[in-house]
Structure 1
Amino acid sequence: MELKPYRLNVGALLFNDAGLVLVARRAGMPNSEGAAGGWQLPQGGVDEGEDLRAAVLRELAEEIGTAKAEIVAEHPDWLTYDFPPELAERGFRIAQRYRGQKQRWFALRFTGTDADIRLDADPHPEFDAWRWARIEELPGLAVAFKRDIYAALARDFMPLARRLGGA
């Protein structure tokens, strides 16, 4: 596993006007406790030579059906996580090819309405449900192998969530 590279990736904390962040339930992927799904933030791979800011907006459009958002902050560090070996064993293609993901995270202010969020916009949707959540909920919603990343995001973007929510 150590010999495999990390996949370059971007992630989005999409905030509404109340300072809540969009989380979506992964379709067809068991979480670490064996139950279907697992809540996560929108994220995805970066194409060769693609600008990271363009990539995060493209990923939003692909995964939640809209890119009605403006980038308001960028996490200063690249964050990484490793895929658990059982993902590769179960045929999860990305885990067969990569050790894990190296991610740049962005905070974005949602400029649309809830009706703009369309999980069915892609012919092969990644998510089957979505909701707005408090940022401090993120670590508890994530699958085990992403929990440390989500805890760091919650800690580092908490001040922004409070400002956006008017607290």
Structure 2
Amino acid sequence: MTGATALPYRSNVGAALFSRAGKILVARRADLGPDAAYQWQLPQGGIDGDEDPAAAVLRELDEEIGTTAVELLGEIPEWLSYDFPPDVVAKFGARHRGQRQRWFALRFLGTDDMIRLDAHAHPEFDEWRWTELSSIPALAVPFKRPIYERLARDFARFAKTDGA
């Protein structure tokens, strides 16, 4: 292996957060600007040390959207991975070739005002919205699109309403 392929993957978790109405939360990255392409994504973030992935996803939800008022619906049991394009590898100091992720489906149990992008000092997102699960692959940056396509397939059963 040479170059980026010799680098390790960064361990990460992702949250597919569903409303009671069966929509999924997407958030706009604050660091890209409102006119950037592919600025919307699902909450995700790194696993700290030997942290359990289920605990990590709750921590990431608190850090990124300011709430843990959720219930676990399901997960994709295997690690999903993607490689960063060369410019992204360089941007992050060539420490990782990409990310390997564990994805969790969760139901949001709170009210929309409980989602607080400003709950912490350095917000990752500056806007959020509920959207159709089927729309998320088109929102994803191309190198993440296969993961979002998998989420749209595997988590489709959670995009149903619970009557609320």
The TM-score normalised by the length of structure 1 is: 0.89
Give, in whole Å, the separation in 1 of the partners of 2:32 and 2:95: 18
Which residue does 1:71 correspond to in 2?
Answer: 72
Give, in whole Å, the separation in 2 of the partners of 1:22 and 1:107: 11
Deviations 1:43-101 (A, max 9, x none): 00001111111100000000001111111101122110111111233x335xx210000
Question: For 2:6, which of 3, 8, 28 is the aligned residue?
Answer: 3
- Following TM superposition, the consecutive aligned residue runs of length 4 or more in structure 1 with deviations greater than 4 angstroms are none
Give, in whole Å, the separation in 2 of the partners of 1:37 and 1:125: 18
Give, in whole Å, the separation in 1 of the partners of 2:84 and 2:5: 11
* Contact map agreement 1:30 1:37 (CA 8 A) in 2: no
* Contact map agreement 2:18 2:158 (CA 8 A) in 1: no
The TM-score normalised by the length of structure 2 is: 0.91
Which residue does 1:92 correspond to in 2?
Answer: 92
What does 1:132-151 correspond to in 2, within 5 Å? Answer: 132-151=130-149
Q: Which residue identity does 2:77 align to in structure 1? A: P
Give, in whole Å, the separation in 2 of the partners of 1:20 and 1:29: 24
Give, in whole Å, the separation in 2 of the partners of 1:68 and 1:35: 30
Which segment is superposed worse, 130-139 or 45-54? Answer: 45-54
What does 1:112-123 correspond to in 2, within 5 Å? Answer: 112-123=110-121
Q: Count residues in correspondence.
A: 160
Gaps of 5+ in 1: none
Query: Aligned Cα RMSD in Å?
Result: 1.8
Give, in whole Å, the separation in 1 of the partners of 2:49 and 2:69: 24
Give, in whole Å, the separation in 2 of the partners of 1:144 and 1:84: 10
